[in-house]
Amino acid sequence: MTKETQLQVEAIKNGSVIDHIPANVGIKVLKLFKMHKTNQRVTVGLNLPSSALGAKDLIKIENTFISEDQANQLALYAPKATVNQIENYEVVKKLTLSLPEQINAIFKCPNTNCITHGEPVDSSFSVLTKKDDVQLKCKYCEKVFSREIVTEHN
Ligand code: CTP
Ligand code: ZN
Protein backbone atom coordinates (compact mmCIF):
# COMPACT_ATOMS: atom_id res chain seq x y z
CA MET A 1 0.00 0.00 0.00
CA THR A 2 1.56 3.26 -1.05
CA LYS A 3 -1.32 5.31 0.23
CA GLU A 4 -0.65 8.10 2.70
CA THR A 5 -3.82 7.36 4.58
CA GLN A 6 -4.28 4.14 6.51
CA LEU A 7 -6.81 1.61 5.28
CA GLN A 8 -10.10 1.73 7.12
CA VAL A 9 -10.35 -2.05 7.09
CA GLU A 10 -7.23 -4.21 7.12
CA ALA A 11 -5.84 -5.23 3.72
CA ILE A 12 -6.25 -8.88 2.68
CA LYS A 13 -3.73 -11.18 1.06
CA ASN A 14 -6.03 -13.14 -1.26
CA GLY A 15 -9.72 -12.86 -1.99
CA SER A 16 -12.40 -10.39 -3.01
CA VAL A 17 -13.20 -6.87 -1.87
CA ILE A 18 -16.63 -5.49 -2.67
CA ASP A 19 -16.17 -1.75 -2.45
CA HIS A 20 -18.46 1.28 -2.91
CA ILE A 21 -21.60 -0.42 -1.61
CA PRO A 22 -24.12 2.28 -0.61
CA ALA A 23 -24.25 2.81 3.15
CA ASN A 24 -26.94 0.62 4.80
CA VAL A 25 -26.92 -1.88 1.96
CA GLY A 26 -23.82 -3.83 3.07
CA ILE A 27 -25.61 -5.99 5.63
CA LYS A 28 -28.40 -6.73 3.17
CA VAL A 29 -25.94 -7.77 0.48
CA LEU A 30 -24.05 -9.93 2.96
CA LYS A 31 -27.19 -11.83 3.98
CA LEU A 32 -28.96 -11.99 0.65
CA PHE A 33 -25.91 -13.39 -1.11
CA LYS A 34 -25.09 -15.57 1.91
CA MET A 35 -21.56 -14.21 2.02
CA HIS A 36 -21.36 -14.88 5.75
CA LYS A 37 -21.98 -18.61 5.15
CA THR A 38 -18.36 -19.52 4.62
CA ASN A 39 -15.46 -20.74 6.69
CA GLN A 40 -13.29 -17.96 5.32
CA ARG A 41 -12.63 -14.74 7.17
CA VAL A 42 -15.09 -11.99 6.22
CA THR A 43 -14.50 -8.41 7.31
CA VAL A 44 -17.14 -5.75 6.92
CA GLY A 45 -16.84 -1.97 7.09
CA LEU A 46 -20.01 0.06 7.56
CA ASN A 47 -20.53 3.80 7.11
CA LEU A 48 -16.98 4.40 5.98
CA PRO A 49 -16.30 7.88 4.69
CA SER A 50 -16.10 7.95 0.89
CA SER A 51 -15.41 10.92 -1.36
CA ALA A 52 -17.62 9.50 -4.10
CA LEU A 53 -20.59 8.29 -2.04
CA GLY A 54 -20.36 10.29 1.20
CA ALA A 55 -20.58 7.07 3.16
CA LYS A 56 -20.12 3.53 1.95
CA ASP A 57 -20.11 -0.08 3.08
CA LEU A 58 -17.42 -2.57 2.16
CA ILE A 59 -17.10 -6.37 2.36
CA LYS A 60 -13.86 -8.37 2.20
CA ILE A 61 -13.96 -12.15 1.78
CA GLU A 62 -10.68 -14.00 1.99
CA ASN A 63 -9.65 -16.81 -0.36
CA THR A 64 -12.84 -16.51 -2.37
CA PHE A 65 -13.08 -15.16 -5.89
CA ILE A 66 -16.32 -13.69 -7.11
CA SER A 67 -16.97 -14.36 -10.80
CA GLU A 68 -18.20 -11.70 -13.18
CA ASP A 69 -21.63 -13.37 -13.33
CA GLN A 70 -21.90 -13.47 -9.55
CA ALA A 71 -20.72 -9.88 -9.28
CA ASN A 72 -23.37 -8.68 -11.72
CA GLN A 73 -26.08 -10.18 -9.53
CA LEU A 74 -25.19 -7.47 -7.02
CA ALA A 75 -25.86 -4.68 -9.51
CA LEU A 76 -29.51 -4.33 -8.60
CA TYR A 77 -28.62 -3.39 -5.03
CA ALA A 78 -25.29 -1.73 -5.48
CA PRO A 79 -24.94 -0.53 -9.08
CA LYS A 80 -21.82 1.47 -8.29
CA ALA A 81 -20.05 -1.26 -6.38
CA THR A 82 -16.63 -2.45 -7.52
CA VAL A 83 -15.50 -6.03 -7.03
CA ASN A 84 -11.73 -6.25 -6.63
CA GLN A 85 -9.82 -9.50 -6.87
CA ILE A 86 -6.77 -9.51 -4.61
CA GLU A 87 -3.78 -11.79 -5.11
CA ASN A 88 -0.73 -11.57 -2.91
CA TYR A 89 -1.91 -8.19 -1.59
CA GLU A 90 -2.26 -6.70 -5.09
CA VAL A 91 -5.46 -5.75 -6.89
CA VAL A 92 -5.24 -7.98 -9.97
CA LYS A 93 -8.75 -7.41 -11.31
CA LYS A 94 -11.40 -4.76 -10.82
CA LEU A 95 -14.93 -5.53 -11.99
CA THR A 96 -17.48 -2.80 -12.44
CA LEU A 97 -20.99 -4.14 -12.33
CA SER A 98 -23.56 -4.30 -15.07
CA LEU A 99 -27.09 -5.64 -14.69
CA PRO A 100 -27.47 -9.26 -15.79
CA GLU A 101 -30.31 -10.46 -18.03
CA GLN A 102 -31.48 -12.91 -15.37
CA ILE A 103 -31.42 -12.92 -11.59
CA ASN A 104 -31.94 -16.38 -10.15
CA ALA A 105 -32.37 -17.75 -6.64
CA ILE A 106 -31.78 -14.48 -4.80
CA PHE A 107 -34.98 -12.48 -4.47
CA LYS A 108 -38.38 -13.72 -3.37
CA CYS A 109 -41.19 -12.88 -5.77
CA PRO A 110 -43.26 -10.01 -4.28
CA ASN A 111 -46.46 -11.73 -5.50
CA THR A 112 -47.60 -13.79 -2.50
CA ASN A 113 -49.71 -16.00 -4.79
CA CYS A 114 -46.70 -16.89 -6.91
CA ILE A 115 -45.95 -20.63 -7.16
CA THR A 116 -42.35 -19.99 -6.06
CA HIS A 117 -43.60 -19.40 -2.50
CA GLY A 118 -45.16 -22.83 -2.01
CA GLU A 119 -42.84 -24.96 -4.08
CA PRO A 120 -39.16 -25.74 -3.63
CA VAL A 121 -38.23 -23.90 -6.83
CA ASP A 122 -35.71 -21.10 -7.09
CA SER A 123 -37.02 -17.69 -8.01
CA SER A 124 -36.10 -16.42 -11.45
CA PHE A 125 -36.54 -12.94 -12.86
CA SER A 126 -35.67 -11.46 -16.20
CA VAL A 127 -34.32 -7.94 -15.98
CA LEU A 128 -36.04 -5.36 -18.17
CA THR A 129 -34.35 -2.01 -18.57
CA LYS A 130 -35.78 1.12 -20.14
CA LYS A 131 -33.23 3.91 -19.86
CA ASP A 132 -32.63 4.22 -16.09
CA ASP A 133 -35.78 2.36 -15.15
CA VAL A 134 -35.21 -1.23 -14.09
CA GLN A 135 -38.00 -3.79 -13.79
CA LEU A 136 -38.03 -7.47 -12.99
CA LYS A 137 -40.35 -10.03 -14.52
CA CYS A 138 -40.98 -13.24 -12.61
CA LYS A 139 -40.51 -16.31 -14.80
CA TYR A 140 -43.28 -18.15 -12.93
CA CYS A 141 -46.16 -15.70 -12.38
CA GLU A 142 -45.01 -13.40 -15.22
CA LYS A 143 -45.78 -10.31 -13.14
CA VAL A 144 -43.54 -7.30 -13.60
CA PHE A 145 -42.19 -5.40 -10.59
CA SER A 146 -40.16 -2.26 -10.19
CA ARG A 147 -36.66 -2.55 -8.83
CA GLU A 148 -37.84 -0.76 -5.65
CA ILE A 149 -40.68 -3.21 -4.97
CA VAL A 150 -38.38 -6.21 -5.29
CA THR A 151 -35.62 -4.76 -3.12
CA GLU A 152 -38.13 -3.60 -0.46
CA HIS A 153 -39.55 -7.12 -0.21
CA ASN A 154 -36.14 -8.70 0.20
N1 CTP B 1 -7.70 -3.82 -0.78
C2 CTP B 1 -7.58 -4.75 0.26
N3 CTP B 1 -6.46 -5.52 0.36
C4 CTP B 1 -5.46 -5.39 -0.52
C5 CTP B 1 -5.55 -4.46 -1.58
C6 CTP B 1 -6.71 -3.68 -1.69
O7 CTP B 1 -8.49 -4.89 1.07
N8 CTP B 1 -4.38 -6.15 -0.35
C9 CTP B 1 -8.93 -3.02 -0.91
C10 CTP B 1 -8.73 -1.52 -0.78
O11 CTP B 1 -8.79 -1.15 0.57
C12 CTP B 1 -9.90 -0.97 -1.55
C13 CTP B 1 -10.12 -2.02 -2.64
O14 CTP B 1 -9.47 -3.20 -2.19
O15 CTP B 1 -11.06 -0.92 -0.74
C16 CTP B 1 -9.58 -1.60 -3.97
O17 CTP B 1 -8.22 -1.29 -3.85
P18 CTP B 1 -7.56 -0.15 -4.74
O19 CTP B 1 -7.91 -0.36 -6.17
O20 CTP B 1 -6.12 -0.08 -4.38
O21 CTP B 1 -8.27 1.12 -4.14
P22 CTP B 1 -8.85 2.41 -4.88
O23 CTP B 1 -7.86 2.90 -5.87
O24 CTP B 1 -9.32 3.34 -3.83
O25 CTP B 1 -10.08 1.78 -5.63
P26 CTP B 1 -11.24 2.54 -6.46
O27 CTP B 1 -10.56 3.28 -7.56
O28 CTP B 1 -12.09 1.40 -6.95
O29 CTP B 1 -11.93 3.41 -5.48
ZN1 ZN C 1 -43.73 -14.68 -9.21
- In tens, the pLDDT along 54-96 reads 999 999 999 999 999 999 999 988 989 999 999 999 999 999 9
Residue 2 Cα distances to 24, 89, 94, 130, angstroms? 29, 12, 18, 42
Whether residue 2 is predicted with pLDDT greater than 60 in this model: the reply is: no
CA 3 to ligand 1 centroid distance, Å: 10
Q: How far apart are CA 39 and CA 12, in angstroms?
A: 16
Domains observed in the chain = 15-96 (3.30.70.140), 102-152 (2.30.30.20)
Comparison of pLDDT for 77 and 115, the residue scoring more: 115
Cα of 154 to ligand 2 centre, how many Å?
13
Ligand 1 centroid distance, CA of 131 (Å):
30
Work out the average pLDDT over 31-57: 93
Give the contacts of 39 (CB within 8 A, at least 6 positions apart): none
CA atoms within 13 A on the CB side of 92: 12
Average pLDDT over residues 125-132: 90
- By alpha-carbon position, which residue is closest to atom 28 of ligand 1? 82
Closest CA to 17 of 34, 39, 37, 41: 41
- 86 assigned ligand-binding residue: no
ipTM for the whole predicted complex goes beyond 0.90: yes
**Mean pLDDT of the 85-108 span:** 95
Is 109 annotated as a binding-site member?
Answer: yes
Q: Can you tell me which atom of ligand 1 is nearest the CA of 11?
A: 3
